[in-house]
Structure 1
Amino acid sequence: MKTLRDVPVGAKALVKRIHGEGPLRRRIMDMGITKGTEVYVRKVAPLGDPVELTVRGYELSIRKNEAEAVEVEP
């Protein structure tokens, strides 16, 4: 299983599934990261937290644990 955390900087991926329960899953979906959405990884901080993404035409920063809950396919 490849997660959003594993996608290298400058690459795109397609969201396949969102893992987790309750507030974490809902928070990710509220940010626009849903099944079938294309995500572009812009930057990753030196220690890996946060991850900067482009989703649906806007910029988004998410935490490492949120990125690990999003399963993707390249």
Structure 2
Amino acid sequence: MRTLNECKPKETITVVRLHGSGALKRRIMDMGITKGVEIHVRKVAPLGDPMELNVRGYELSLRKGDAEMIEVA
């Protein structure tokens, strides 16, 4: 499986699983990123950090380190 940080701009993917634990996993879930949700990758910064995403109808910027914990299909 691949992770969110490997996705390219203008790609729409579905979350399969969240890795990690504790407060970090909870923070990602509080942002609306949960199993089964669709994410549209709008832009990726030149060095890959951060990523601009469209999740559940709102814009979200996510760091590369956090995106590595999100397994997608």
TM-score for both structures, normalised by structure 2: 0.97
RMSD of aligned residue pairs (Cα, Å): 0.6
Count of matched residue positions in the alignment of Structure 1 and Structure 2:
73
Aligned to 1:4: 4
Letter in 2 for 1:8: K
Partner SS, residue 40 of structure 2: strand
In structure 2, distance between residues paired with 1:45 and 1:8: 11
Q: Cα distance, 1:59 vs. partner?
A: 0.2
- Which ranges of structure 2 fall in alignment gaps of 5 or more residues? none
In structure 2, distance between residues paired with 1:4 and 1:46: 16
**Structure 1 vs Structure 2: percent identity of aligned residues?**
63
Letter in 1 for 2:69: A
Letter in 2 for 1:47: L
Aligned to 1:13: 13
